Structure formats: C-alpha cells, structure tokens
Amino acid sequence: MSAQTPTHPALSKVLLDENTIKARIRELGAQITSDYAGRRLMVVGVLKGSVIFLADLLRTLGAELDVEVDFVAVSSYAGKNSTGAVRTLLDLRADPEGKDLLLVEDIVDTGLTLASLTETLRAHRPNSLEVCTLLDKPDCRKIPIQPKYVGFRIPNEFVIGYGLDYDERYRQLPVVGVMRT
C-alpha cells in the first residue's frame, strides 16, 4: 500500500488504487467461497458505504455458493466525526435465523457501529456471524472487535472513495484516498 498522486481535487493522496482494491477483493472472494462451501450464506451489506465493495465482492463469490443478499442501514457519523450513537435506519427484510451471516462493511474504525450491529444480528439467532470489511483502522478502536475478513489495514486518516463518503459525496471515486482538509 503506497501513496500515489491524487486523482481528484478532494484527495490529498491515494492510499489504494483501483487495481489493488480489485485484486484484494478477488482474494477475499476466493477465501469466502472456500470457507462457506456447502453452506447457505446470507450476505448483509451495511448501507450506504459498503454497496460498491459488496457488489464487487459478490461477483467474486463462486457460483456454487447458495447466497442470499440483504441490507441494513445505520447512522453513527456527523461529517467526519462519530457521534458514538448508532441509529438503525433500515433493518433486515429476510429472517437470518439458522443461516450463516456475513456482514459486509466499508470500514471499521472505533468498532462501535460494528459491535451494535453484531449484537442486533446475533439476537436473530443466525447459525454463524462473521464480518468482512474493505478497510480496517485498528488504531481507532474503542471496542476490541476484529473482522474475520479484512481487505486492507489503513492508518488513522479520514478516507473517501470506493463507497466511502464525506456528507454523501465522493462515493463514486474508484480509489480510496485521504480527504484533503
């Protein structure tokens, strides 16, 4: 992971280019396909940030997998700062009881949102529950939580692109970069 010249005026530097991201997603997809072979997998995307990562990840999963997709939406940020309070905006439509759940996140930083979500999902009595995140910022952790599948560990900087936003902007950027201040 090396910083590159910014491709957009909102970026001070690029942390992950498009090819690097796509290659790692293929690796994650192969691992998930292997780990869930012969099982029924319910992939749960956390809206809105995970949607680009989720779409790319789903395309890398083996066709032999029995995959169901659902979404949740939560809010815990105001601008660049975590509010510390997690609000559920959209809950699952399908019943996850007895299914293997894979929660797909764009980024894990403080762990507060992820802890709240996993607690809520465990109450539905899934067979198993694991987390896949594109980005992990372990230096920001307030709760000791570790996703099973991690795309990239990144430094404690505010990043945008590839689904991550600042006030609903910049999600469409094909790279992950540090936002210019």
The pLDDT of residue 113 is: 85
5 lies in some domain: no
76 lies in some domain: yes
The confidence band for 81, taking pLDDT boundaries of 50, 70 and 90, is low
Structural domain boundaries enclosing 133: 18-156
pLDDT at 3 over 80: no
The pLDDT of residue 90 is: 63
161 lies in some domain: no
pLDDT at 7 over 80: no
The confidence band for 78, taking pLDDT boundaries of 50, 70 and 90, is low
CATH number at residue 145: 3.40.50.2020
The pLDDT of residue 136 is: 96
pLDDT at 120 over 90: no
The pLDDT of residue 24 is: 98
pLDDT (tens digit, 9 = 90+) per residue, 94-112? 888 899 999 999 999 989 8
Single out the residue of 43, 66, 63, 64 nearest to residue 55, CA to CA.
43
Q: Which residues are catalytic?
A: 109
Q: Residues of the chain with pLDDT > 90: what percent?
A: 67
Name, in order, each residue with C-beta under 8 angstroms of 149's C-beta and a sequence gap of 6 or more.
Answer: 28, 31, 32, 102, 130, 131, 132, 133
180 lies in some domain: no
167 lies in some domain: no
29 lies in some domain: yes
169 lies in some domain: no
pLDDT (tens digit, 9 = 90+) per residue, 129-165? 999 999 999 998 889 899 999 999 999 999 999 999 9
| Mean pLDDT, residues 62-91 taken together | 75
Number of domains in the chain: 1
Return the beta strands (E) in 49-108 as ranges. Answer: 66-78, 81-90, 100-108
179 lies in some domain: no
